[in-house]
Amino acid sequence: PPPKSFQPNGASEEVLRCEIEELKQKDLALDQEIAQLLSEGYSLEELDKHISLLHEYNEIKDAGQMLLGKLAVIRGVTTKQLYPEYDLELSD
């Protein structure tokens, strides 16, 4: 049986219904966005490739941020102070 804190009651059922409706709306919005991109000439394969490249970029950026953080600790400075040394913008 589910935990007692998860037992449905009137209030939690209504919250769940609202969350389900919000997710349905998000799903519809994403479907519409995909349809628009496809109508603009993008292919699903191309979109998948862009998403894959964005994931790879974010992983590399996270690794770089981690290294900057460790270097900042070693030097006893903030990561912000290291940005000019490596020609980085704060928005990078």
Please give the C-alpha separations between residue 86 and each of 15, 35, 60, 78, in angstroms, as whole numbers.
49, 41, 16, 14
Could you report the per-residue pLDDT of 13-46, keeping only the tens digit for each? Answer: 888 899 999 999 999 999 999 899 889 988 888 8
pLDDT of residue 91: 79
pLDDT of residue 18: 92
Band (pLDDT 50/70/90 cuts) for residue 10 is low
Question: What is the distance between the alpha carbons of residues 63 and 85, in angstroms, rounded to a whole number?
Answer: 18
Domain spans of the chain, in order of start:
8-42, 43-91
pLDDT of residue 5: 54
